[in-house]
């Protein structure tokens, strides 16, 4: 084990709350920790006291080691609620409020959640009353406004004494105990519960801190949802635990407001996805995002156009990270000053890698990973609360990657997102990248559908009006992309579906592809048979005459060679021959 791996191991052997308290002591209670969505500035001391005070009434409503759902936007409220639950040995489960009642009920069943913490103000502002009404049939809804009213003098005393005697007054679970439960994004099916230990989360924070150089004056800006592991670990816990102020914003969709907040707070490190970052830059005034030093993007590929715009207009670098929820989540990332085109940089310290061959693909393999940041296992609604651990600690990411001699990782696509066309494997990511190159201002998603002749075919869903497939063919030919990677059919829609995390909703894309193809088939079936043109009629008559001549010639040859019976029965002269042929 190298020095970096040993350091990761050593610094992850504690609970998340204890790690936070250690950071608060090191930084000092008066140090700025969080700037909330409303501009309110919170110090470490204020966050710590709020967490201890809130932990009392929450503990009285729950049992030790109980899994409690949190349904809140990114902000100080979700951080304090999470720390408050962990301070008393409860397990927070971060719930995706954009997932719909069905998925949230499934998540609650999988993790055995009987209570969900939220806020009345959030529910009202988000118009989520119907969602809460549906959820309340399966779980108890606990509002933070009511919990605050239940704070007793003993809780206030704990808020003062807790930071002074954390080893006595705060829970101190084993680092390998469950620290938080998240749920996969559901881009390709029903979400699964991902069980992450305290050590998993803290190991990933240490891995990222070692991998990406941060300046002492950096200020983080995080608009990504904390129900997504990237927004939770990298965007919220990393700065707070390492000791950097972080600006938390409740929604990544506020594209006009976010550039202004970045400017107002002089933020230097932004967390985003490629799609969101492009939107922020387009909405920003000239120089509005020039305080940024780097933007760290995950969840989707970073386009060359995005990096060029960031450098040209605002002079900051765009780093691309790669990860999965099961890895807490970061596995690899570019480093400032070391961006290799087409790669996501190198693997983080202490991550073991194994590539398994995939039929039809050369120079790449299916990625398996193992390390201190890899989850404890899955839980599912089929067997509520039952942890399904990994075999020998290895997690199958389901991604196809290549790793060059320098250790730089290139993501080729997901196993499920490769089409097999005429025996060749084609990545849907390549299809989408080609479409993005031709129409960079639009969104595109590719889906696989059956094909009677070649096994499978690729359908492109795009919000580009009047999208011309011929432009894709021309671009592919001029850039050396095999024409097999050009979609068979292009279907235009009003909007390409996106999940609340910023990732493309591939289940929704596939559904649109099916509906679009069905509509095209119905339209073709309902269309009247067109009347043949004069030219088509002349061509048909010509083909008929040529066919008759060919048949007569073949018959003559057969009669002469005796292929049509006894040669003695053959006609004697041409007249008889023509008669026989007729």
Same domain, 522 and 540: no
417 in a structural domain: no
Is residue 132 included in any domain, yes or no?
A: yes
Which of 385, 423, 418 has the alpha carbon at shortest distance from 400?
Answer: 418
513 and 540 in a single domain? The answer is no
Indicate if 120 and 153 belong to the same structural domain: yes
Given a cut of 90, whether residue 5 has pLDDT beyond it is: no
Which of 12-16, 193-197, 301-305 is predicted least confidently?
Answer: 301-305
415, part of any domain: no
Specify whether 399 is located in the same domain as 498. Answer: no
Are 259 and 345 in a shared domain? Answer: yes
Give per-residue pLDDT as tens, 370-389.
999 999 999 998 899 999 99
CATH number (domain holding residue 320): 3.40.50.12780
pLDDT of 433 strictly over 70: yes
pLDDT at 509: 85
CA atoms of 117 and 71, how far apart (whole Å): 6
Q: Do 393 and 437 belong to one domain?
A: no
Would residue 416 count as lying in a domain? no
292 and 164 together in one domain: yes
Claim to verify: residue 55 and residue 172 sit in the same structural domain: yes
The answer, yes or no, to whether the previous bond of 329 is cis (omega within 30 of 0) is yes
Note whether residue 360 is domain-resident: yes
Q: Could you report the per-residue pLDDT of 326-361, keeping only the tens digit for each?
A: 999 999 999 998 998 889 999 999 999 999 988 767
- Identify whether the C-beta of residue 221 lies closer than 8 Å to the C-beta of residue 129: no
Same domain as 459, residue 366: no
Within a domain: 364: yes
Does 478 lie in the same domain as 397? no
Residue 380 domain-assigned?
no
Kindly report the backbone phi and psi dihedral angles of residue 328, in degrees, each rounded to the nearest multiple of 5, phi listed first: 75, 10
> Sorting pLDDT into bands at 50, 70 and 90, what band is 129?
very high
Could you tell me the two tokens for 383?
């067997």
**Residue 559 confidence class, pLDDT cut points 50, 70, 90:** low
Q: Domain boundary at 479, 503, 526, which?
A: 526
The pLDDT of residue 516 is 86
The SS3 call for residue 383 is strand
Most confidently modeled range among 14-28, 440-454, 471-485, 543-557? 14-28
Residue 182 domain boundaries: 3-375+385-410
Least confident among 286-300, 329-343, 390-404, 545-559: 545-559
pLDDT at 424: 67
pLDDT at 333: 95
pLDDT over threshold 80, residue 478: yes
Residue 456 domain-assigned (yes or no): yes
- 490 and 547 belong to one structural domain: no
Residue in the block written with tokens 């059956």: 450
- Do residue 353 and residue 435 come from a single domain? no
pLDDT single digits (tens) 506-539: 778 888 988 888 888 888 777 776 677 777 778 8
- Tell me what pLDDT residue 318 has: 96
**Counted domains in the chain:** 3
| Cβ pair 62, 68 in contact under 8 A | yes
Helix (H, G, I), strand (E, B) or coil at 323: strand
CATH of the domain at 514: 3.30.300.30
Which of 357, 361, 351, 366 has the alpha carbon at shortest distance from 407?
351
């Amino acid at each position: 084990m190298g020095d970096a791996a040993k350091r990761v191991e050593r610094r992850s052997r504690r609970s998340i709350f204890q790690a936070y308290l250690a950071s608060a002591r090191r930084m000092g209670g008066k140090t700025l920790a969080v700037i909330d969505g409303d501009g309110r500035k919170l110090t470490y001391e204020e966050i710590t006291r709020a967490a201890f005070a809130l932990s009392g009434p929450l503990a009285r409503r729950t049992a030790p080691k109980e899994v409690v759902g949190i349904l809140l936007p990114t902000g100080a409220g979700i951080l304090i609620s999470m720390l408050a639950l962990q301070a008393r040995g409860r397990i927070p489960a971060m719930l995706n409020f954009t997932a719909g009642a069905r998925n949230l009920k499934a998540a609650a069943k999988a993790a055995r959640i009987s209570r969900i913490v939220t806020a009345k103000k959030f529910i009202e502002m988000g118009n989520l009353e119907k969602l809460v009404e549906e959820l309340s049939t399966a779980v108890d809804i606990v509002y933070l406004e009511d919990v605050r009213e239940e704070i007793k003098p003993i809780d206030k005393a704990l808020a003062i004494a807790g930071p002074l005697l954390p080893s006595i007054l705060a829970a101190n679970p084993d680092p390998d105990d469950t620290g938080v439960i998240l749920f996969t994004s559901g881009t390709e099916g029903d979400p699964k519960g991902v069980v992450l230990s305290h050590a998993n989360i803290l190991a990933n924070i240490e891995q990222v801190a070692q991998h990406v150089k941060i300046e002492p004056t950096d200020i983080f800006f995080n608009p990504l949802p904390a129900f997504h592991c990237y927004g939770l670990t990298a965007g919220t816990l990393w700065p707070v635990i390492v000791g950097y102020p972080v600006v938390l914003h409740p929604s990544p969709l506020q594209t006009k407001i976010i550039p202004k907040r970045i400017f107002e707070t002089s933020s230097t490190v932004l967390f985003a996805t490629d799609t969101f970052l492009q939107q922020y830059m387009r909405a920003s005034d000239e120089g509005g995002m020039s305080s940024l030093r780097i933007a760290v993007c995950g969840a989707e590929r970073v386009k060359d156009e995005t990096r060029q715009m960031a450098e040209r207009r605002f002079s900051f670098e765009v780093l691309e990270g790669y990860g999965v929820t099961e890895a807490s989540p970061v596995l690899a990332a570019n480093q400032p000053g070391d961006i290799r085109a087409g790669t996501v940089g190198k693997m983080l310290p202490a991550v073991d890698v194994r590539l398994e061959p995939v039929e039809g693909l050369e120079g790449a393999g299916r990625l398996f990973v193992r390390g201190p940041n890899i989850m404890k296992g899955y839980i599912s609604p089929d067997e509520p609360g039952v942890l399904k651990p990994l075999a020998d600690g290895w997690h199958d990411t389901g991604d196809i990657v290549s790793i060059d001699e320098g250790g730089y990782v290139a993501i080729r696509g997901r196993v499920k997102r490769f089409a097999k066309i005429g025996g060749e494997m084609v990545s849907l990511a390549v299809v989408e990248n080609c479409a993005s190159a031709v129409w960079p201002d639009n969104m595109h998603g590719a889906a696989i559908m059956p094909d009677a002749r070649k096994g499978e075919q690729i359908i492109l869903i795009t919000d580009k009006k009047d999208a011309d497939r011929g432009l894709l063919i021309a671009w592919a030919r001029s850039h050396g992309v095999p024409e097999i990677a050009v979609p068979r059919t292009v279907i235009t829609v009003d909007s390409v579906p996106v999940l609340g995390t910023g990732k493309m909703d591939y289940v929704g894309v596939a559904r649109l592809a099916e509906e679009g193809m069905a509509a095209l088939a119905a339209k073709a079936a309902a269309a009247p048979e067109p009347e043949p043109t004069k030219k088509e009629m002349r061509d048909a008559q010509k083909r008929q005459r040529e066919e008759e001549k060919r048949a007569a010639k073949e018959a003559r040859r057969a009669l002469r060679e005796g292929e049509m019976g006894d040669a003695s029965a053959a006609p004697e002269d041409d007249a008889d021959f023509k008669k026989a042929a007729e």
